[in-house]
Structure 1
Amino acid sequence: DVKSTIRRAYGEEFEQARQTEPYRRLEELWQAKAAYVERAEEACVKAEELITAARHPAVAPRETASPGGYVSENHAWENINVIENDFLRVEVDGGQGGIVSLVDKTTGREWVGKGSKEPFAGYRYDLYSARDIAEFMRSYGLFLQDWFVQDFGKAGYPEDSEHVTAFARDFGIDKVTWEGGASLTLAGGRLSPGGSGYIKVPGQQIDIIFRLSGAPWLDIEYRVSNKVATPLAESAVVSFPLNLPKATYRLGQTGSVIDPVRDVAAGANRSLWCVDNWVYTSDDRYGLGIIPVDMPLVSLGSVGIFEFDPERVPGGSTVYSHLFNTQWGTNFPQWLEGDFTFRVRFVPERGEWRGWRVGAVQHALWDVANDTTRQAAKSTRLPERGQVIVLPSGWVLLAVRPRHDGEGAIVRFWDQLGLARTLPVSILGPVSEVWKCDLMERPREQLQLVESALPGYVTVELNLEPHAVETLWVSFARTREDGEG
């Protein structure tokens, strides 16, 4: 708890304070928490690499890199700032620091909104002033008690501080192509210092990588290097000013999908949302999903940091995917430094949200789920390739793992569409039993096995309620080859 641990210091005093025991102890605590998460991520990455290596023999990509690494946009190589596949065409501008054209070839739709001062998919950095913080506390709080000021404000914050907004610009461009894909790297972008006195944009270098494969989506990676710590409140976001004048939104959240205009309780926050995998926006004709892979916080129409208006109607045509911020005064790091990586997936679509490919976000989960199910059924000699669990569109796989207290696998999924209907689930066999379970994974109802239209699969059917979360226990049959009956 920061408010009971340190006395906040600003300006030149900040670096001096960081050498004291209370500050060092606090930073060590933050580092320990980060290391715990990093170890979990490393274990997950290793598991995914082993799974991929076992199923897909390594093939070295045939790369055609630009000579000398970074090249300017007027290099003789034609279209150095453009990549495309069968679905998308992406054009970037290193000077502006973002995408200047993103065309969905299947519809002809240009997704980059014109007239915005913010670069599309660009890196935006803000420092917040004492006025920003004071106005937020007055709008959000009723009694400005000490604990409230410490948790939602910044005690001792410099009163003459200024709000500074900066964008990463003036990048070099590097283009790489290989069989089945291509990437563009905006490299070496920096933020120009602004303000006066102690108000100075902290040093940091930005690289943005845009990747296309054979799929109908764009993967974007943001690398922040050598970020310098500051005690001032800060945020970094990715802005997507869309060519969608009458945008409506849906936010994927755990076990539900919400409309931020109609589904937010009276008096509640209408500026920031944590999403479970995705934001979808459309005008009923065209739509797209934005999937923040590593960071769940998003906002619509404005950045949302130090903003609170209970009467606000979320809208506008700009989506902000948040990379980091230091607004909150408790249980979060109060300054950030070092190197960071963030990923976003951009999925153009057609129509309203119920028709979109939410499975695009599950590219890694399916491989892990298939391998886990094979592990649970390893004595059944399942084929090395092929999807073990097949769900209809609109259902999201949450988890697959071996059963803790017996043989078989536990499978959990939920309905993204919010529609009551019958769900057929196909499972690669041989399968002996499938049970519908409660959330504690206790078997409640044995389901009838029906031969599937998919060769080698069996199908079970469930009658489900809107946004249902369902759990199945799958028991696999042993074969004569395994020494059984």
Structure 2
Amino acid sequence: MKVTVEDPGPIVATLRIESDAPGCAKLVRRVRVVDGFDHVELINTTDKLREQKPEGVYFGFPLNVPDAVSRIDVPWAVVEVDKDQMRGANRNFYCVQRWVDLSNEDYGLTWVTMDAPMLQYDPIKIALPFGAEHWRTRFTPGSHIYSWTMNNHWECNYKAYQEGQITFRYALRPHAQGYNAVQAQRFGRNVCQPLLAVQADPAKPVIEPLLKLRGEGVVITSIRPSRDGKALMVRLFNTADDDRQVKLHWSKPVGTTWLSNPMEQPKAKMPAAKTLAKFEVVTL
């Protein structure tokens, strides 16, 4: 193993750790902190060798959050592991949209994955090819998780091997107090959808965003032209664990704002303030 300082700071500090790893020509891990940020970045690059025998590639995160409740971000919802699952549902591995939060009543950690959407809990459980008895039926997940980055367990419609240099990025944010749905969503989206830097003219005024929201926890998931090109379609999503009220603030004058359906048909005028229920999606 070889550890070097890649960025000495004071704004960005990065440690580079190069080592051997099973099935790889080498593994390079970077641990990065940025002044003013409240999280740690992990960047793992594998130089993967071709392997056609059954294998799985994991990065382990043995986090220490006693009595942690595990919540997984999925499209348009958050799943509390085991509690929110039906009988017979898969508990051996999970799909993650952006983040997992592991929290008890006093503190916790939000873990964000940018490139690898599959997750397992310790101990690793693979049913194939060992039989149905290896599927979990119920369990209490701990705070030791694995990012399942690659495997060749399913031959149908999948390449039989992965090889070459592949990078997997993660961000870990510890937090005081218990789980906060709005903060977890904000952190996950900030990491996975970073701001884009564009050239600015100091002689010109700052360009205002087209639309701002007043309402903690409600986010804009898309703004796009309507199919007929005559309007803008806006989709709002309440990421909070309870009802939230939102108000729209347009930077330019607009016509009437309508509550719409997914077919882009206006149904009712948008009120001055709109209350969204937990995880409610509204189309304007």
- Confirm or deny a common fold (TM above 0.5): yes
State the partner residue of 2:42: 220
- Report the CA distance between 1:209 and its aligned residue: 1.5
Q: What's the CA shift string for 1:120-140, capped at 9, x where partnerless? A: xxxxxxxxxxxxxxxxxxxxx
More off after superposition, 258-267 vs 326-335? 326-335
Q: Does 1:190 align with 2:17?
A: no
Question: Structure 1: which 5+ residue stretches go unaligned?
Answer: 1-169, 192-200, 372-380, 449-459, 473-485
Higher-Rg member (1/2): 1
Rounded to whole Å, the distance in 1 between the matches of 2:151 and 2:140 is: 21
Q: 1:415 to 1:303 in 2, by over 3 A?
A: farther
State the partner residue of 1:81: none
More off after superposition, 275-284 vs 398-407? 398-407
Rounded to whole Å, the distance in 1 between the matches of 2:78 and 2:104 is: 17
State the partner residue of 2:256: 433
- Report the CA distance between 1:366 and its aligned residue: 6.5
State the partner residue of 1:309: 135
Q: What's the CA shift string for 1:451-470, capped at 9, x where partnerless? A: xxxxxxxxx42222321112
- Report the CA distance between 1:274 and its aligned residue: 0.4
Alignment-mate amino acid for residue 278 of structure 2: P
- Report the CA distance between 1:367 and its aligned residue: 3.9
Equivalent in 261, 269, 274 of residue 446 of structure 1 = 269
Percent of residue pairs bearing the same amino acid type: 24
State the partner residue of 2:2: 171
3-state SS, counterpart of residue 360 of structure 1: helix
Q: Does 1:235 align with 2:56?
A: yes
CA contact (8 A) 1:300 1:316 kept: yes
State the partner residue of 2:201: none
Alignment-mate amino acid for residue 217 of structure 1: H
Equivalent in 146, 164, 175 of residue 338 of structure 1 = 164
3-state SS, counterpart of residue 321 of structure 1: strand
Rounded to whole Å, the distance in 2 between the matches of 1:412 and 1:217 is: 29
The structure with the greater share of residues assigned to strand is 2
1:92-103 correspondence to structure 2 within 5 Å = none
Equivalent in 397, 400, 406 of residue 229 of structure 2 = 406
1:18-417 correspondence to structure 2 within 5 Å = 170-178=1-9, 180-187=11-18, 189-191=19-21, 201-213=22-34, 214-225=36-47, 227-306=48-127, 308-350=134-176, 351-354=178-181, 356-363=183-190, 365=193, 367=195, 383-384=206-207, 388-390=211-213, 392-417=215-240
CA contact (8 A) 1:357 1:393 kept: no
Rounded to whole Å, the distance in 1 between the matches of 2:86 and 2:213 is: 36
Rounded to whole Å, the distance in 2 between the matches of 1:301 and 1:397 is: 35
3-state SS, counterpart of residue 299 of structure 1: strand
Alignment-mate amino acid for residue 238 of structure 2: D
- Report the CA distance between 1:179 and its aligned residue: 5.2
CA contact (8 A) 1:185 1:209 kept: yes
Rounded to whole Å, the distance in 2 between the matches of 1:302 and 1:395 is: 36
Q: How large is the RMSD of aligned CA atoms in angstroms?
A: 2.7
Q: 1:426 to 1:234 in 2, by over 3 A?
A: farther
State the partner residue of 2:131: none
Q: 1:241 to 1:390 in 2, by over 3 A?
A: same
- Report the CA distance between 1:341 and its aligned residue: 1.1
Q: 1:230 to 1:309 in 2, by over 3 A?
A: same
CA contact (8 A) 2:213 2:219 kept: no
State the partner residue of 2:277: 465
- Report the CA distance between 1:362 and its aligned residue: 2.3
Alignment-mate amino acid for residue 273 of structure 2: E
3-state SS, counterpart of residue 328 of structure 1: coil
CA contact (8 A) 1:271 1:314 kept: no
State the partner residue of 1:18: none
Q: 1:394 to 1:287 in 2, by over 3 A?
A: farther
- Report the CA distance between 1:405 and its aligned residue: 2.2
CA contact (8 A) 2:213 2:246 kept: no
CA contact (8 A) 1:256 1:418 kept: no
The structure with the greater share of residues assigned to helix is 1
Rounded to whole Å, the distance in 2 between the matches of 1:218 and 1:289 is: 11
Alignment-mate amino acid for residue 280 of structure 2: A
